[in-house]
Structure 1
Amino acid sequence: MANTVKIYNFMGLRKGAAALSILLLVISIGSLAVNGLKFGLDFTGGSLVEVGYEQPADLNQIRDQLAAAGYDDAVVQTFGSPTDILIRLGRDHDPQLGDKVVAALQQDSSQTLTLRRNEFVGAQVGEELREQGGLGMLLALFMIMVYVAFRFQFKFSVGAVAALAHDVLIVLGFFSVLQIEFDLTVLAAVLAVIGYSLNDTIVVSDRIRENFRMMRKGTPIEIMNNSLSQTLGRTLVTSLTTLLVLVALAVFGGEMIHGFAVALLVGVLVGTYSSIYVAANVLVMMGICKEDLLPPEKEEEVDDRP
């Protein structure tokens, strides 16, 4: 197979890729430290108001009406159908809030509006969800490291976890820099990015291990380039088909899953890059060699009988 595949010098760009990754990580971590994440109501608490329209409503017009009434932080989206509108407000609950919102919307509307729900999401619930989500992510990374170390070799586990941490931090940094709302759907997307990136990294790692054992000649850099070139077609096809679906979701999926689709879009792009230039780069920096991947020799039994 190595003879029929064009070999690209991926590792020739490893220093530039490492510099790019470090720059992106510094920006992401800096933004997370200074700006933090713009948590949604799932994490911060607030009020939910559901309003029923007689005919499909214009979300942009509703946002403008609410902003004019003093509700600048309102998040407006459809809920099940174009006539059901869910409005999320990051403020303390007011029993009369639903009536006030309906009154503000009714002023410039010829339709008869119906208040269907006026609820409060407690901040304590959001805090628990945030802590459990973070712990779940750390546990996932630890278990992945154990699995890869057992399945391949310790240096591969360090490379895989470095790639996953790289992807997660950059996705979180993207949301922090642009101050896009971070809710439970985005958290689910971040966890999905871990799974996607890991799958790609495992495929690449398996080919690297196979080539280290099969190729008698060649430096570790040459073996890496062969392995990455052989898996490039599979990586590109998988990434492109996934990106097509995610672009469709981001454009046509509606506001309810927009953050989810955007997080996965960024995660798939960064995950494809990290499988080549983070996981493999870490292996090179840790001095991976053929001896690391050779199966252990069986010790010969010595007959001590006289």
Structure 2
Amino acid sequence: MKTQVATETREKVSQEVAQKVAQKTQEVAREVAKDWAEGMVKPVKLPPPAKRNSVIMIGLGGTGKTTLIRSLVKDLDANPDKKTEEYHLFHGERRTDQSRHYLYISDYRGQNIGTLVRAFIKQQKIKYSPMAYGHVNSLIVLVDIEEPKQSPMDDEPSQIDEPNFNRVQTHLAQWSGTALDAVFGFLTAETLNYVCLFINKADLLKTREKQAVRALFKELEGLLRERCEGIKFEVYVGSVREGEQINRLEDDLLAAAVDVSNTDSISASSTLAMMRANNA
């Protein structure tokens, strides 16, 4: 009789333990699922008080994107946090008495819009991606007025009498209205705070007629302005190499940063778009 009672007691205890283990396993599974789901629609987690600006930078090869990024993140030897054939992701940090500013910049490496689209979709499949759809805050379009060096061993370009019009036309052909529609398809009006057209290599011109240089990209400026209703839009004619206009661009990016406490929610449309990207 005692043996039977002991056996029944052990079985009861075993069942209770098994139930508790199963319950705990389910709780952990729910937390993991919740974290995964949250991570696929929310940007990188940052400790408050902090502000974040996730920046998409586009431009042809040789326009000076990497140099510009390293200037903005205050590290001339900066290496990307993540590097693929399609994109490089950099980040930098600014500290003030009131807050920290985190700047994330994604440099898309491809020379065509298809590569850019594929790269952006890949970023949506990374948990807590700084470039999560619905959380990109700024767009920089970088163009220039002279062909890049063909080799790192080549001398730095000398001063020129006038812009290279073939190079300008290449930029205008690349960033057509159709291409820009695709780029702005990555962005949402609720979170896009800033767009900049930066015209680089102005230091190469013997005459610094910035208005004349800006006029060469009037078509592109117009296309961008059409898509920036209610969004701060700036055009800078400067030099990445010489640091000309970089401080103004940096100030704009810091001003466009968002409080991380305001990034805990995401719209239904953003969630749907994310699901589509993950299924692509």
> Taking structure 1 as the reference length, what is the TM-score of the superposition?
0.24
> Taking structure 2 as the reference length, what is the TM-score of the superposition?
0.25
Please identify which structure carries the higher helix content. Answer: 1
Please identify which structure carries the higher strand content. Answer: 2
